[in-house]
Amino acid sequence: MCSAGIDSVYRGGAVRRRGGRCLLLGWLLALVPVAAVAQPGPLTPARVAELLPAPGILRNSVTNLHAEGDSLWVGPFLNLTTDEGATWQQADADSLFGSRNRVFSIDVEGPVVWVGLGFSTADGVQAAGGFLVSTDGGRTFAYRFPQLDAPDDDRVTYGVSTLEALPVIVPEQSPPFDIDYDPVRDEVWVAGWASGIRRSDDGGASWTRVVLPPDDLDAIAPDQPYDFVLEPERGTAGNRNHMGFSVLVDETGTVWAGTVQGVNRSTPADLDPETGERAWQRFSFDGTPFSLTGNWVTSIEEQPLPGRNPVWMATWDASEVQGERQRFGVTVTRDGGATFEQALVGERIYDFAFRGETVYAAGEGGLFVSDDGGRTWYTVRDFYDPAQPDRRMRPGVEVFSVATTPGALWVGTADGLARSTDGGLTWRIFRAEVPVDPDTPSDAIPRVDTYAYPNPFSPVAHQWVRLRYKLDREASVEIRLFDFGMNLVRTLVDERQPPGEREVVWDGTDDGGLRVANGPYFYTVDVGGETLRGKILVIE
């Protein structure tokens, strides 16, 4: 039974997703009565989804990548390529395309594919949208409901203890930020922020709340009595260590659960075979170089190597006390948590991938690469396509996700997907684009001679606007920009170009290098006596 200070609905706070992860905008989280909760749209079971042909990737901000053999899965929509990007498919799931849902997390183990879905509410709060699961390698998918509680789920049994718990009954603040399927035990684990860490052993039909240590304990065991409350932090109540953000079941069966208060570890020896309960030990920042760089563990991945696999963690600054000296960076353990090492201190990292000894870390500052297991690093910031020199990514683009397939290295960015087959020297860039002058125009793909994207265009937020057009033959091309009074603002191109779909970028400045004012601008593409016209709206 709940105490007088515990309500049955968790809501509020401010967490904003960015790049497959999220940024914490404020720690203050609130409880409100059931009647005050704005309930989301219906979350009904979807029909079985199938993979259908797709023209390419479906969104230019690529927040999730997951590779399994030759297959590369791509979010925030569920794209798949099995031939290094030559062809693409998409999951025709109405719980994804017929809703606000987007892909928040992906895990693939053999033929089993788990996809965590989430959405943003009108006020920008991230919410749980359920799951898609496939047992046939992604050929078909079924829907599962979000990992939420019933209103009377106000107690949990942990070994010899019966603990009070805060029922999390609405999807707000409980998106599946990470998911991991354990094929050995046929269990799936999910890190769902306010809903904490949860586990399902029946294919997602039901979920069990995983009891982690409260903030004032570094370890718990099911044979010891406790009286803490299982609840996420909200204001001065609750626990940061009950806010799940990342989860991994490694090769040994050890479970790693990342929260805002550190990383929790439970080994196979910590599992009680009779009750199924686990003992947990929490590791956190202690101010030395032999601990986590910061307590907020946003990503956990293992590096397949002979012997014990290293476990890599993106560890972010979650300082509560001024001067605590937590830092953004990477923390790795090569011995199952006996010792820890720090790397890339000061860098905000989102994701990891590996090829043998080589470690790839996707981050705010680019793609970081180590060929010696993380001891030294170099950075890739320029993603250049030599076959299409006019196609390039924005300078300083954030790298949100990274993956390796047998023949390629892949990075997902805020400006498209990039593939390298030479270790990162050169890249093929993939974007979600409307073709110019399509062979089979439709309502979704109209016949246009030229267009600009993004449009409206913010020079600060977008850096570049891209102007696309098509040449049927080699020709002299002149591209000019005019303001609303048809005064010449800038000449972008004046040269001969080969045939094909072309692209040129504009950074929002005039011929003198000054930033233009807000408002409409017009452009012309003069090609051998023919003039194509388009419009760009500049807004800050």
Is residue 182's pLDDT more than 90?
yes
Q: Which residue has the higher pLDDT, 132 or 392?
A: 132
Domain assignments of the chain as residue spans, ordered by start: 38-146, 152-346, 354-432, 450-538
Is residue 1's pLDDT more than 60?
no
pLDDT digits (tens, 9 = 90+) for 74-102: 999 999 999 999 999 988 777 787 788 99
Q: Which residue has the higher pLDDT, 152 or 276?
A: 152
Q: Give the Cα separation of 532 and 530 in Å (integer).
A: 7
Question: pLDDT category, 315, cuts 50, 70, 90?
Answer: very high
Is residue 385's pLDDT more than 90?
no
pLDDT averaged over every residue in the chain? 87
Of 370, 372, 290, nearest to 337 (Cα)? 290
Token digits of residue 147: 């990992």
pLDDT digits (tens, 9 = 90+) for 440-488: 444 444 456 788 888 888 888 888 888 988 888 888 999 999 999 999 9
pLDDT of amino acid 412: 96
Is residue 226's pLDDT more than 50?
yes
Of the candidate ranges 242-251, 308-317, 467-476, the one whose mean pLDDT is the lowest = 467-476
| CB-based burial label for 372 (10 Å; 0-12, 13-18, 19+) | exposed
pLDDT of amino acid 453: 82
Q: Are 492 and 500 in contact (CB under 8 A)?
A: no
Question: pLDDT category, 435, cuts 50, 70, 90?
Answer: low
Is residue 26's pLDDT more than 50?
no
Question: pLDDT category, 320, cuts 50, 70, 90?
Answer: confident
pLDDT digits (tens, 9 = 90+) for 104-119: 999 999 999 999 999 9
Q: Give the Cα separation of 306 and 334 in Å (integer).
A: 12
Amino acid at 452: A
pTM of the model: 0.84
Question: pLDDT category, 392, cuts 50, 70, 90?
Answer: confident
Is residue 145's pLDDT more than 60?
yes
pLDDT of amino acid 34: 26
Of the candidate ranges 18-27, 58-67, 292-301, the one whose mean pLDDT is the lowest = 18-27
Is residue 155's pLDDT more than 90?
yes
pLDDT of amino acid 193: 97
Of the candidate ranges 208-212, 235-239, 337-341, the one whose mean pLDDT is the lowest = 235-239
pLDDT of amino acid 16: 34
Averaged pLDDT for residues 386-413: 89
Question: pLDDT category, 499, cuts 50, 70, 90?
Answer: confident
Question: pLDDT category, 436, cuts 50, 70, 90?
Answer: low
pLDDT of amino acid 14: 34
Could you tell me which residues are beta bridge partners of residue 368?
A: 361, 379
Q: How many CB atoms lie within 10 A of CB 123?
A: 8
CATH no. of 450-538: 2.60.40.4070
Of the candidate ranges 204-208, 239-243, 283-287, 499-503, the one whose mean pLDDT is the lowest = 499-503
Of 311, 312, 317, nearest to 294 (Cα)? 317
Measured CA to CA in angstroms, residue 499 lies from 432, 434, 472 at distances of 21, 18, 5
Is residue 194's pLDDT more than 80?
yes
Of the candidate ranges 27-36, 204-213, 218-227, 466-475, the one whose mean pLDDT is the lowest = 27-36
Query: What three-state secondary structure class fits 328?
Result: coil
Sign of the dihedral through C-alpha 287, 290, 294, 296? negative
**Rg, the chain, Cα only:** 25
Averaged pLDDT for residues 53-68: 90
Measured CA to CA in angstroms, residue 357 lies from 2, 299, 329, 354, 376 at distances of 51, 19, 20, 7, 12
pLDDT of amino acid 11: 31
- Give the distance from CA 460 to its chain's centroid: 23
Averaged pLDDT for residues 500-514: 90
Q: Give the Cα separation of 20 and 403 in Å (integer).
A: 14
Q: Give the Cα separation of 490 and 477 in Å (integer).
A: 14
Q: Which residue has the higher pLDDT, 186 or 436?
A: 186
Of the candidate ranges 33-37, 65-69, 126-130, 260-264, the one whose mean pLDDT is the lowest = 33-37
Averaged pLDDT for residues 395-420: 94
Question: pLDDT category, 217, cuts 50, 70, 90?
Answer: very high
pLDDT of amino acid 4: 29
pLDDT digits (tens, 9 = 90+) for 333-367: 999 999 999 999 999 999 999 999 999 999 999 99
pLDDT of amino acid 27: 36
Could you tell me which residues are beta bridge partners of residue 198?
A: 190, 209
